[in-house]
Amino acid sequence: MTEPARRSGAARLAEGLGERVYAMLQDLGDIFTLFLQVVSWIPRPPSEFRNVVKQMEEVGVRSMPVVLVTATFTGMVLALQSYSGFQRFGATSFVGSVVALSITRELGPVFAGLMVSGRVGASMAAELGTMKVTEQIDALVTLATNPVKYLVVPRVLAATVVLPVLVVFADLVGILGGYFVAVYLLGANPYVYIAKTYQYLQMKDIYTGLIKASVFGMLIALISCHHGFIAQGGAEGVGRATTRAVVASSMMVLISDYFMTSFMF
């Protein structure tokens, strides 16, 4: 009882920090194990095709509006900012290239990833967390069904496949948003804008963005399912799991984005 009180503040701080780091490493390890389990369950029967389609609808169709709105405004603000910046050294004709490259390489996938972390990550963690605390996951096991196969595999597959699709649309409306602001509000020449967009945009910019999106989708689904699975302690526990899932998957989107970018370019 009295022992911890005697320790200095620094020691307690270090201890707390150590515990945090330990918990984080354990989470990472568990998520990697979950990934391996998912991979090993994918080829085994019965097929979860219907569940995958259902999840694709949940992740894809339902996230489309938020992703489109985010991407449109990102493209618009990019055009606005780069136009006023480039005006200082008379390079406004490059606004189209800047918007197109930033959106396809970076902002399209990252903002879509962050939006999906919030929307889909939260709902996956909350749904699986509720199933955990109400013993529905135990019930699955007693009904001859592996929970990883039935619940995690469809979510991971759906998110991995659907996120790049979302990003294709995000790229498109982002570039259109930039075009709209540059041409109609700032008076840029539409032919120059389109020509510059084409001139510097390569296929590689687009497909690296889509690969990133795919990885983000997989990470978001894995992390959120993991936090749902380890939820305990009723409604409060489910709330905690949901928060953790959103925070962890948003951070992982940004962290993995840096490393993927450094490998790809």
Partner 1 sequence: MIEIRGLCKRFGRKVVLDGVDLAIPKGKNTVVIGGSGTGKSVLIKCAVGLLRPDAGEILIDGADITKMNEAERVRVRQKFGMLFQGAALFDSLDVGDNVAFALRRLKLYPERQIRDVVEEKLSMVGLRDVQRLMPAELSGGMKKRVGLARAIASEPDILLYDEPTTGLDPIMADVINDLIISLRETLGVTSIAITHDMASACKIADSIAMLYRGKIIEVGTPDEIRATSNPVVAQFVAGRAHGPITDENEEFVRFVRRTHAADEGTRRG
The contact set with partner 1 (CB under 8 A) reads 1-2, 46, 130-131, 134-136, 138-139, 141-146
Q: Are 251 and 110 in contact (CB under 8 A)?
A: no
Amino acid at 196: K
Q: Are 175 and 196 in contact (CB under 8 A)?
A: no
Q: Are 111 and 63 in contact (CB under 8 A)?
A: no
**What dihedral angle (degrees, nearest 10) is formed by the CA atoms of 227, 39, 61, 121?**
10
User: Minimal distance in Å, beta carbon 201 to partner 1?
Assistant: 43
User: Minimal distance in Å, beta carbon 145 to partner 1?
Assistant: 5
User: Minimal distance in Å, beta carbon 11 to partner 1?
Assistant: 20
Which lies closer to partner 1 via its Cβ, residue 19 or residue 135?
Answer: 135
User: Burial level of 191, CB count in 10 A (0-12/13-18/19+)?
Assistant: exposed
Which lies closer to partner 1 via its Cβ, residue 42 or residue 139?
Answer: 139
Which lies closer to partner 1 via its Cβ, residue 130 or residue 197?
Answer: 130
Structure tokens at 190: 């539409």
Which lies closer to partner 1 via its Cβ, residue 50 or residue 88?
Answer: 50
Which lies closer to partner 1 via its Cβ, residue 84 or residue 134?
Answer: 134
User: Minimal distance in Å, beta carbon 127 to partner 1?
Assistant: 8
Which lies closer to partner 1 via its Cβ, residue 135 or residue 236?
Answer: 135
Rounded to whole angstroms, the maximal C-alpha distance in the chain is 77
Handedness of CA 11, 12, 16, 17 (dihedral sign): negative
Handedness of CA 230, 55, 63, 95 (dihedral sign): positive
- Measured CA to CA, the distance from residue 210 to residue 164 in angstroms comes to 5
User: Minimal distance in Å, beta carbon 149 to partner 1?
Assistant: 10
User: Minimal distance in Å, beta carbon 56 to partner 1?
Assistant: 16
User: Minimal distance in Å, beta carbon 240 to partner 1?
Assistant: 19
Handedness of CA 175, 179, 185, 187 (dihedral sign): positive
Which lies closer to partner 1 via its Cβ, residue 134 or residue 199?
Answer: 134
Upper half-sphere CA count for residue 138 (Cβ side, 13 Å): 5
